[in-house]
Structure 1
Amino acid sequence: MDMKLESIVLPVADVDRTRAYFETLGWQVDLDHQADGFPIVQVTPPGSPCSVVFGTGLAAAPAGSIRGLLLSVADLEAARAELTARGVDVSEIFHDASGTASYAETYARAPGLDPERRSHASFATFSDPDGNVWQLREISTFG
């Protein structure tokens, strides 16, 4: 049975500020709705089948508490350059020096792209206005 992740709920403190931020990134606003006086917004990164939903009272986690939100890109250098041009403070590119392509924030970071340019092994990070941490991950092979 196919199962597709449709959306994630993101804990944020200010819905309008977060919507404006994601619009700055070029993400599509799919929904901006008021339900019983509470705003609900859904945005989708370009080319992604999964959306991000945020609003008042949607998330049990505190604003800014989410880590490791992975955004897969084919060209990490180009993705970093585009986000930087849009005013996002993106980390320098790094790779996992242990060679395991770990997703944990505590792995052995080494500067620059993975020397072998392995898929899933090069990263850059940025935070949204609430401090939720997003990770760009270069993927050259899927499957």
Structure 2
Amino acid sequence: MKLELVMVPVTDVDRAKEFYVRAGFVADHDQTVSEEVRFVQLTPPGSACSIAIGRGLTGMVPGSLDNMQMVVADADATHADLVARGIEVSEVVDLAWGRFVHFADPDGNRWSLQQLPAWSTGAGGDGERPGA
């Protein structure tokens, strides 16, 4: 079983789509089904799981996602890349269980990007898990 899609509640679909594309996500689909329903699927670089933003997709309150987490190979490089793309991010935070960079979308949905410690992966902290 694999996680395929996570709904991210937003107020302005176009603004959110622009933000996530600027952050490096790939816009896979943008389909207006009806006046009430628009579905936009975006995939983070290297991820098998996508996010969906849109209209008429979820009853969740915009900005209510707190601490969605993705694994990155290098927190410093990811920080530099996001800053270069104009994304407001935290400084890199070093903790015993990894190195973290945090950001939020325009609605306040918060993301954590974690560089796993080498001891947790056995492969240099790249986040790749055997059999994934």
Question: Which residue of the partner structure matches residue 121 of structure 2?
Answer: none
Displacement of 1:95 in angstroms is: 2.6
C-alpha distance after superposition, 1:90-143 (max 9, x if no partner): 1011133xx4x3xxxxxxxxxxxxxxxxxxx11110000100001010020544
SS at match of 1:17: helix
22-31 vs 4-13, greater mean Cα deviation:
22-31
SS at match of 2:40: strand
Q: Which amino acid aligns with 1:50?
A: C
Structure 1 residue 129 corresponds to structure 2 residue 127: no
Question: Which residue of the partner structure matches residue 11 of structure 1?
Answer: 9
Partner Cα distance (2:101, 2:26) in 1:
22
Name stretches of at least 5 consecutive residues in structure 2 with no aligned partner: 117-124
Question: Which residue of the partner structure matches residue 21 of structure 1?
Answer: 19
SS at match of 1:18: helix
Partner Cα distance (1:16, 1:136) in 2:
24
Give me the CA root mean square deviation: 1.2
Partner Cα distance (1:36, 1:142) in 2:
39
Aligned length: 119
Partner Cα distance (1:142, 1:9) in 2:
24
Q: TM-score, normalised to structure 2's length?
A: 0.85
Question: Which residue of the partner structure matches residue 120 of structure 2?
Answer: none
C-alpha distance after superposition, 1:40-88 (max 9, x if no partner): 1000011110000011121222100101111211111000000000001
Partner Cα distance (2:62, 2:74) in 1:
30
Structure 1 residue 138 corresponds to structure 2 residue 118: no
Q: Which amino acid aligns with 2:106?
A: P
Partner Cα distance (1:84, 1:13) in 2:
24
Q: Which amino acid aligns with 2:115?
A: E
SS at match of 1:65: coil
